[in-house]
Amino acid sequence: MSLIAPSLLASDFLHLDRVCKMLNESEADWFHLDVMDGRFVPNISFGIPVIEHIRKATKKICDVHLMIEEPEKLTPVFKKAGADILIVHFETCKNLHSNIQQIRSLGMKPAVAINPHTPVEFLQDILEDLYHVLIMTVNPGFGGQSFIPHSLEKVREMKKMIRKTRKEILIEVDGGITLENAPALIQAGADVLVAGSSIFQSKDPKETIRLLKRIA
């Protein structure tokens, strides 16, 4: 059964207490928290104080997706704020291996995200050091975009690469995920589904999470 990581970017920021309560009661596995700096991506979302509050409101895993330049400068701060998993972007890290070591040494699980234009092969030499890889299925920066179909092929290729390592490295997919395209992604090898708009804009978010979770 796949893991479901609702992206709070699409939730009601005025009532994050209610959002956390609903997610705690739901079958969601992780809280996916998108941090944007207005430099790496052309948007700014939320930052450390918000994550600290969300941390206090849930015992579920906080999966923090950093869409920021120079993430190594803030890695300890995100640990202190309560991140369990820290995702950095391949495209922003000049010294990716040392960034991964830093995340691990602070007691978080390291993950690397790749943009739609970045080939999965670029992660070959770092793969065995990762808890999961995040394949962006839209361009990062905004919720509510359409899924890029080529991503399916990238998930398949990544799955092959992971099998060769004989390690359990998860594949997370993020962007434009819906009840309609989730089955193909899981079939291709995705283990963790991030979904923002399709959950929070649905009539019954808890039920949408349940349905996503039920997709074999």
Catalytic residue among 29, 37, 63, 174: 174
CB proximity list for 215: less than 8 A, separation 6 or greater:
2, 179, 182, 183, 186
The DSSP 8-state label assigned to residue 201 in this structure reads T
**Interface segment toward Zn ion; rule CB under 5 A; list 33-41, 95-103, 119-127, 156-164:** 33-41
Residue 12 among the catalytic residues: no
Single out the residue of 125, 186, 124, 126 nearest to residue 161, CA to CA: 124
- Catalytic one among 34, 37, 63, 191? 34
Which of 35, 51, 114, 138 lies at the binding interface for ligand DX5 (CB under 6 A)?
138
Q: How far is CA 83 from CA 21, 112, 117, in A?
A: 18, 15, 27
H or E stretch covering 110: strand 109-114
The count of other CB atoms within 10 Å of the CB of residue 90 is 17
- Shortest distance in whole angstroms from residue 212 CB to ligand DX5: 11
Contact flag: residue 172 with ligand DX5 (CB under 6 A): no
Cα separation, 198 vs 59, in Å, equals: 23
Query: Measured from the CB of residue 91, what is the shortest distance to ligand DX5 in angstroms?
Result: 13
Q: Alpha-carbon distance 202 to 204, whole Å?
A: 5
Question: Is the C-alpha dihedral spanning 19, 20, 26, 30 positive or negative?
Answer: positive
32 binds ligand DX5 (CB under 6 A): yes
Segment near ligand DX5 (CB under 6 A); pick from 16-24, 70-78, 92-100, 134-142:
134-142
With respect to Zn ion, which residue has the nearer C-beta, 35 or 169? 35
User: Are residues 157 and 15 in contact, defined by beta-carbon separation less than 8 angstroms?
Assistant: no
Is residue 208 helix, strand or coil? helix
CB of 14 to ligand DX5, least distance (A): 18
191 is catalytic: no
Minimal distance in Å, beta carbon 34 to Zn ion?
Answer: 4
Binds Zn ion by CB under 5 A, chosen from 55, 60, 65, 89: 65
Residue 67 or 162: which CB sits closer to ligand DX5?
Answer: 67
Give the residue at shortest CB distance from Zn ion.
65
Q: Which two tokens stand for residue 67?
A: 């869409």
Q: Which of 29, 37, 172, 174 binds Zn ion (CB under 5 A)?
A: 174
Active site residues: 34, 174
Residues that bind ligand DX5 (CB under 6 A): 7, 9-10, 32, 34, 65, 138, 140-141, 143-145, 174-177, 194-198
